[in-house]
Amino acid sequence: EPVRIKDKEGAKEMPPIQGKVEFKDVTFSYEEGVEILKKVNFTAEKGQTVAIVGPTGAGKTTFIKLLLRLYDVTAGEILVNGYSIYDFRREDYFRLFAPVFQDVVLFAFPFAQNVSMDTPEETDKEKARECLIAAGLGEKLDSLEKGIDTELLKILYPDGVDLSGGEKQKLALARALYKGAPIMVLDEPTAALDALAEYELYQNFDKIIGDKSAIYISHRLSSTRF
């Protein structure tokens, strides 16, 4: 049975918070006695870009899942602007983050809705288009007859379009940009990109991130030099 993480009794609505994230002596175990992370201390200031680098199995993804509150810590605490993240409702806390993961799921929606992840009525097509261009999918959009209205996948429409692995990761970045959360979390975002696309992402990274905080995960130190 999966573990259902629930809000603690009396969890409050989170006020508008941007900025400092802290891990204080955070320890995490998937099973008793096997510590994946042990007394980790970490601080990211508002607007700062931080790289977390380590080999496969070092605990980087576990670190991210704790930060995003997909797991609860075994010991220690995680703070945002000095407040324990467990004092607030998870639904509110999730609004702080725009994550970009390696595994990207497409839906049988038009391109615009695959970016907004919202209803057609609530989707800002122009904003979605701008985010796709910023993420490096401008040429892809220009090559499609219906552009931003192109259906993805062939589940509902025989002329639906699928995306390559690299294009999916760019779509994930566009989703994060569209969400506009104050903290972006990028977990190996260039894993499926070719060398040129990776270089272009690095060159445009500051422009893409803007004044947001960014936590960048990689197993290659060379990928974090920028």
C-alpha torsion sign, points 175, 177, 179, 182: positive
Q: According to the model, what pLDDT value does residue 5 have?
A: 64
What whole-number distance in Å separates Cα of residue 142 and Cα of residue 66? 39
User: Under DSSP, is residue 40 helix (H, G, I), strand (E, B) or coil?
Assistant: strand
Residue 79 is which amino acid?
L
- Contact between 160 and 172 (Cβ < 8 Å): no
Question: How many Cβ atoms sit within 10 Å of the Cβ of residue 95?
Answer: 14
Per-residue pLDDT of the chain (226 residues; tens, 9 = 90+): 445 567 777 777 776 666 689 999 999 998 887 899 999 999 998 888 898 988 888 899 899 999 999 999 999 999 988 888 888 888 888 888 999 888 899 999 999 999 999 999 999 999 999 999 999 899 999 999 999 999 999 999 888 999 998 899 899 999 999 998 989 998 887 777 777 777 777 777 777 787 888 898 887 776 677 7
The reported pLDDT for the residue numbered 1 is: 41
The pTM score is 0.83
C-alpha dihedral (66, 69, 73, 76), degrees to nearest 10: 90
